[in-house]
Amino acid sequence: MIEFDRDILGKEFVLGTFHVTQEMIQGFARAVGETDPKYLDAEVAKEGVTGGLIAPPVFYDVFRADQLPDPKVKFGKVAFNAGQRCEFYAPIRPGDTITLKTRITDVYEKTGRTGKMVFIVRQTTYENQLGETVAMVEQSQVRRESGAARE
Amino acid sequence: MIIDMHVHSDVSDDGMASVETYMKWLAKLRRNYRIDGVVFTEHRLFNHGADYEALAREYDILIFKGTEADTDCGHVLCYGMNDKIVREFDLKNVHLSGRELIQAMEETGGIGIPAHPGRRHIGLVEHLEKGYDIGKYLRAAEQLNGGSSRQENARAQQLVEERKLCGIGGSDAHFVSAVGKFMTEFKRPIRTMHDLVEQLYSGEYRPITLEEARITA
Amino acid sequence: MSGKAIYFEDVDIGDEITPLVFNPTREMIAAYVKACNITEKRFTDDAYARSLGMDGIIAPGNMGLAYLSRMITDWAAGSVLRKLEVRFRGFIKPGDQLTCKGLVVEKHARGSENSIECDVFIENENGDRPVAGSATVVLPARSLR
């Protein structure tokens, strides 16, 4: 049995609200080598199908919370990102205000090449100022005894 | 009959595609390669409620359900899952006794076959080297696994040769495009899981690559 | 540079997405970390990363996702990424020579949202795939209403 704080499962936490600027969007787009004007050039984007500048889908990664809910799993010395499942419902635009809400949805065990692993699954929704959910990101964190590279 | 004995759908926690998506891909693949069936061996569960018969008819292919269990001697592929096994073994438990599982599978008319035996931690070879007693019910091992490295498959082959086991092949696909990489060629026709288990007992099969299943002329 | 528009009707199961080279350097990782205000030290501090058992700093997983997303929009202008799901099976390190690749595996014709499913990977020069997953992409329809 994995020992962890079971009370936390399913509980929703509001992580914060963030204001989106054109500079943030352009900064992220440039950092990943985007050249599509819909992410970079507001004037060109206005004439295009998106009707204005939009953020690339993975832009959700700019929103940082100070504290994330922690199920306090009693296993493992290191934690890594094991995987993500993202759904994108609507684009994020300059001027949007995005609120992050998150829940721990699962904690489970499995074995792999590096031995025993415990997975913590956390689902975060991103809501804009109109109350629309623009994205959902389910992140799977894996706790292991060591930082061995290959799984 | 050529069957991919080890495939994961999105029912597995790390599988990426639905069974139907696999079927559509296979429909294309089968224009050039002979593939008669697949077994969805989902991680740590048996998808009892799923009924793939309609899909199997629509795509004219065999679709079987199995399990890939985590055990104390590595992962074990289970064919011929039944109520007794599901009651006796908590498949979510990663510390199941591999030896007991393989014995129980055989005793209940199924068969347990160690998956990717050449891999570290989750392969049987390492556990045998550390003195694990697998018991007397081991008859086969997954000799060719599509997710294993060449060295890992070589270790699996060594196990099969040294212990005079029968070898199966499976893609261990978690993505549609990986299906069929390795498969198992059976001498006799198979229609049901019962037939499959019977053929696995018979030993009349060998692991093959996708290329060996290519339809020529 | 963004590619030409690719229409739903023109895509077949088995089609390859134009690969995108991704050779992360320390500078590129630092730029991504800065753009996302990341404070986690495994992406910037070699000694800290080694204390966790890695060889040195690694790239954030989301950076790989962002490149996979870019691969798709570079290949098909006018496409909309609806879902992206990956497993991280290995680390991405500065100096790695990687290629983002994808393959169309399914088509869904659904009126207003015609979409394709693709297997997507980030592959290194040995053919290993530290990042592997699936994307659902909405494509515009060629036929006019």
Parse chain B into domains and list their residue ranges: 2-213
Restricting to B residues 47-76, those with a Cβ less than 8 Å away from any Cβ of C are: none
> Which subunits count as partners of chain B given 3+ CB pairs below 8 Å?
A, C
Between B and C, how many CB-CB pairs are < 8 A?
A: 36
Pick the closest to residue B113 from B123, A86, A35 (CA basis): B123
**Interface list for chain A against chain C, based on CB atoms closer than 8 Å:** 24, 27-28, 30-37, 49, 56-58, 61-62, 64, 78, 80-88, 146-151
Between A and B, how many CB-CB pairs are < 8 A?
A: 26
Q: Is residue C113 predicted with pLDDT exceeding 80?
A: yes
Q: What is the DSSP secondary-structure string of C12-32?
A: -TTPEEEEEEE---HHHHHHH
Band of the pLDDT at C145, cuts 50, 70, 90? Answer: very low
Cβ C52–A78 below 8 Å, yes or no? Answer: yes
Return the pLDDT at A148: 61
Distance CA B169, CA B181 (A): 9
Has domain B2-213 been given CATH number 3.30.1330.10? no
The answer to whether C102 faces chain B, any CB pair under 8 Å, is no
Distance CA A120, CA A108 (A): 7
Per run of 10 residues, the mean pLDDT along chain B (length 217 residues) is: 98 95 96 98 96 98 98 98 96 96 98 98 97 97 96 98 98 97 98 98 98 93
Tokens at residue B150, please? 């060449």
Q: Is residue C2 predicted with pLDDT exceeding 70?
A: no
Tokens at residue B153, please? 């498959």
Cβ B24–C106 below 8 Å, yes or no? Answer: yes
Return the pLDDT at A79: 94
The CA distance from A75 to the nearest CA of chain C, in Å, is 15
Return the pLDDT at A1: 77
Cβ A61–C85 below 8 Å, yes or no? Answer: no
Distance CA A136, CA A78 (A): 26
How far apart, in Å, are the Cα atoms of B143 and each of B44, B69, B155, B161, B181? 21, 17, 9, 10, 13
DSSP B23: H
Q: Is residue C136 predicted with pLDDT exceeding 80?
A: yes
The whole-number average pLDDT for the span A135-139 is 98
3-state per-residue secondary structure call for chain B: CEEEEEECCCCCCCCCCCHHHHHHHHHHHCCCECCCEEEEEEECCCCCCCCCHHHHHHHCCEEEEEEEEEEECEEEEEECCCHHHHHHCCCCCCCECHHHHHHHHHHCCCEEEECCCCCCCCCHHHHHHCCCCCCCCCCEEEEEECCCCHHHHHHHHHHHHHCCCEEEEECCECCHHHCCCEEEEECCCCCCHHHHHHHHHHCCEEEEECHHHECCC
Coil, strand, or helix at residue A127? strand
> Which subunits count as partners of chain C given 3+ CB pairs below 8 Å?
A, B
Domain boundaries, chain C: 8-138
Distance CA B124, CA B114 (A): 7
Beta-carbon count within 10 A of B190 CB: 20
Has domain A6-19+65-144 been given CATH number 3.30.70.100? no
Cβ C53–A49 below 8 Å, yes or no? Answer: no
Among the residue ranges A61-65, B4-8, C15-19, the one predicted with the least confidence is A61-65
Among chain A residues, the shortest Cα distance to C84 is held by A86
Band of the pLDDT at A150, cuts 50, 70, 90? Answer: low
CA-based max dimension of chain B = 50
The whole-number average pLDDT for the span C86-92 is 95
How far apart, in Å, do the first and last CA atoms of chain B sit?
Answer: 19
Restricting to C residues 9-48, those with a Cβ less than 8 Å away from any Cβ of B are: 13-14
Of A83, A111, A119, the CB nearest to B121: A111
Band of the pLDDT at A114, cuts 50, 70, 90? Answer: confident
The residue written with tokens 């019962």 in the block is B194
The answer to whether B119 faces chain C, any CB pair under 8 Å, is no
Q: Is residue A90 predicted with pLDDT exceeding 50?
A: yes
Residue B176: list chain C partners with CB under 8 A. Answer: 105-106, 117, 119
Distance CA C90, CA C78 (A): 32
Distance CA A109, CA B92 (A): 8
The answer to whether C30 faces chain A, any CB pair under 8 Å, is no
The residue of A80, A92, A150 whose CB has the most chain C CBs within 10 angstroms, and thus the best one to mutate to test that interface, is A80
User: What's the CATH fold of domain C8-138?
Assistant: Thiol Ester Dehydrase; Chain A (3.10.129)
Higher pLDDT, C129 or C144: C129
Distance CA A138, CA A130 (A): 22
Cβ B177–C119 below 8 Å, yes or no? Answer: yes
Residue A32: list chain C partners with CB under 8 A. Answer: 32, 63, 66-67, 70
Strands (E), B61-139: 62-71, 74-79, 111-114
Band of the pLDDT at A67, cuts 50, 70, 90? Answer: confident
Band of the pLDDT at C3, cuts 50, 70, 90? Answer: low
For the stretch C47-79, pLDDT in tens is 999 999 899 999 999 999 999 999 999 999 889
**Interface list for chain B against chain A, based on CB atoms closer than 8 Å:** 13-14, 43-44, 70, 75, 92, 94, 119-122
The residue written with tokens 């204390």 in the block is C51
Contact A95, C102 (CB under 8 A): no
ipTM score for this prediction: 0.94
Return the pLDDT at C18: 97
Residues A124/C86/B90/A76 CA torsion (nearest 10 deg):
-70
Band of the pLDDT at C143, cuts 50, 70, 90? Answer: confident
The CA distance from B90 to the nearest CA of chain A, in Å, is 12
Tokens at residue B174, please? 């978690």
